Amino acid sequence: MIETVKHSTSVAEKARINPRSGVFAWFARGRPTKPGETYGVPGQGDTMWLSVVSILFLLFVWWAITALGLVKPLFVPSPQAILAKFVDVWQNGFTNTSFLEHVAVSTARVFGAFLLACAVGIPLGLAMGMSPVMRGLFDPPIEFYRPIPPLAYLPLMIIWFGIGETSKVLLIFLSVFAPVALGARAGVRSAAIEQIHAAYSFGASRWQVMRHVILPSALPEILTAMRVGVGFGWTTLVAAEMVAATKGLGYMVLSASQFLQTPTVIMGIIVIAAIAYAFDLLMRWIEAKVIPWKGKM
């Protein structure tokens, strides 16, 4: 018995001293795990430098392809051509309209529809999560139109509301409304039933439970749905500005594509992506301030 224990101890010591040999030993060794790294918040860590390197690498590949002449400039202009076109549009405008006015018109359309969708979708989503009656009434129509591409019901919006701003804003509103409402509905289920029962046992009313228990628990899902929703809004912008638009980034991209002005098209796409990414960074900052407990409970 004693010899068996000694033999097991010696084997364990050998394994601890030299678990592997060669190159595998280098990979096996590592510093001790700090709290919150592996068993804490998943994905925690600063990724700014990796993002910068990734962007620079993509720009280098883009420049190399155009510099070597692997693709014709009509299809893929060089980064220098895109930058020159941006400076030209910034100084001279596009179709007798300044660049900032194009940006302001598109931003007003997207964020106007976004705010309207949040004002309607978040309360409705919370009500759908709280009440089976509301869920039974509104879930079928939302789930019915949600997978339909905006281009499919764009003609209907034009027939009903004309070619003015109403049809454009409403088209973007519908693309944002579904993810926001469904995100708020899903957020209601994030509230722990123990917390709800504890609040009721202390004499809280239904409104107090909603305000102090369910809404804080649903905020992470709601903010994520808002980030997804505004992304859908920007993707729908080009479709919304297809008809009878004379200003806007989507109009600029579509109009330039008709005359094969590829630098203007790519420049407009980059500007749309930059504005959407800036808003996403703003939403991340709001998440960090409003719901600092996200991923830590």
Whether the Cβ atoms of residue 74 and residue 263 lie closer than 8 Å to each other: no
> Is the domain of 55 the same as that of 125?
no
Instruction: Say yes or no to pLDDT of 265 above 50.
Output: yes
The number of folded domains in the chain is: 2
Q: Which residues contact 266 (CB under 8 A, 6 or more apart)?
A: 77, 82
Interval 123-127 mean pLDDT: 91
> Is the domain of 56 the same as that of 88?
no
Phi, psi of 237 (to 5 degrees): -60, -45
CATH code, domain carrying 152: 1.10.3720.10
Instruction: Say yes or no to pLDDT of 61 above 90.
Output: yes
> Is the domain of 176 the same as that of 229?
yes
> Is the domain of 174 the same as that of 267?
yes
pLDDT at 4: 47
> Is the domain of 55 the same as that of 122?
no
> Is the domain of 60 the same as that of 135?
no
The structure tokens 């919304």 sit at 240
Which of 117, 87, 113, 81 is closest to 99 using CA atoms? 87
Domain annotation covers residue 131? yes
Domain annotation covers residue 9? no
* Rounded alpha-carbon distances, angstroms, from residue 121 to 124, 142, 153, 167, 177: 5, 11, 20, 19, 6
Confidence of residue 32 (pLDDT cuts 50, 70, 90): low
Whether the Cβ atoms of residue 127 and residue 181 lie closer than 8 Å to each other: no
Domain annotation covers residue 15? no
| Distance separating alpha carbons of residues 269 and 249, to the nearest angstrom | 8
Tokens of 270: 């980059």
Domain annotation covers residue 143? yes
> Is the domain of 122 the same as that of 61?
no
Domain annotation covers residue 36? no
Domain containing residue 123: 78-191+218-290
Domain annotation covers residue 297? no
Which of 220, 223, 186, 224 is closest to 297 using CA atoms? 220
